[in-house]
Amino acid sequence: MKISDEQLALFKLYKNAKPSEKPKIYARIIFNFQPIKKHLDPYIPNSGTVLDYGCGYGIFANYIKTKNEKLKVIGFDISKQRINEAKKTSAKTGVEFVDRLDDFKFDNLKLVLLIDVLIFLNRKEKIELLEKIYTSLATDGIVFIKDTLKSNSLRFKYTYFEERLKLKLKVYGRDVKSELNYITPDEFAKILTETGFNIINLIPENQFIYPGIFIIARK
């Protein structure tokens, strides 16, 4: 597996991460970065504000900011542990990382990322979040979703088992609810269209170890 210059730059950015967190960060950069980047790049705006909702360690928030320094980029995650690691990079990239959004009033976002977030929300919470995002987006703003693809495959069954184990071990942090709520592509499409979004693309992704799906929708 060839490591790109962009990945090397991200490694350098997180060189001061806690020893217990660095392997997790580097693993995400090695295994998850390229498959997500190839779908994300066409939707990085030229100007405006980007929100990475559920940003984790801030890898993609930082990537977007380095891709276009004119953007205002905000990374949000409820895991204080991950946000604390992300904040260590802020001085170099200028991304604002927070673990609460109470003080932010969004009404003109150009892009919102939801990468591996919606599986932790039940149907009602998914709808409420997507409605809030829709209201907060600028006209023609984009929501970029990456989630686990629900199916009857052995890959999905293994993924479900592993995710349950991670939740039990608090791998995602102690603030993440210990439930998983996978939905099918048709269910995603229904929720998004009923919210008002126009679906641009819906892409099953087989490059991951786990069954993934990308959904890009426009306000």
CA distances from 114 to 19, 126, 131, 217 (A): 27, 11, 13, 12
Residue 108 has φ and ψ, to the nearest 5°, of -150, 40
Residue 214 has pLDDT above 90, yes or no: yes
Taking the model in full, what pTM does it have? 0.91
Domains with residue ranges and CATH for the chain: 34-99+107-218 (3.40.50.150)
> Between these two residues, 86 and 149, which has the higher pLDDT value?
86
Residue 38 one-letter amino acid: K
Give the C-alpha separation, 161 to 159, whole Å. 5
> Residue 133's closest CA among 43, 218, 61?
218
Rounded to 5 degrees, φ, ψ at 6 are: -65, -40
pLDDT in tens, 39-95: 999 999 999 999 999 999 999 999 999 999 999 999 999 999 999 999 999 999 999
pLDDT for position 176: 62
Query: From residue 61, how far is each of 16, 102, 125, 170, 175 by CA, in Å?
Result: 18, 19, 23, 23, 21
- Look up residue 209 and give its DSSP letter: S
Q: What are phi and psi of 122, to 5 degrees?
A: -75, 175
CA distances from 177 to 120, 163, 184, 205 (A): 7, 12, 21, 26
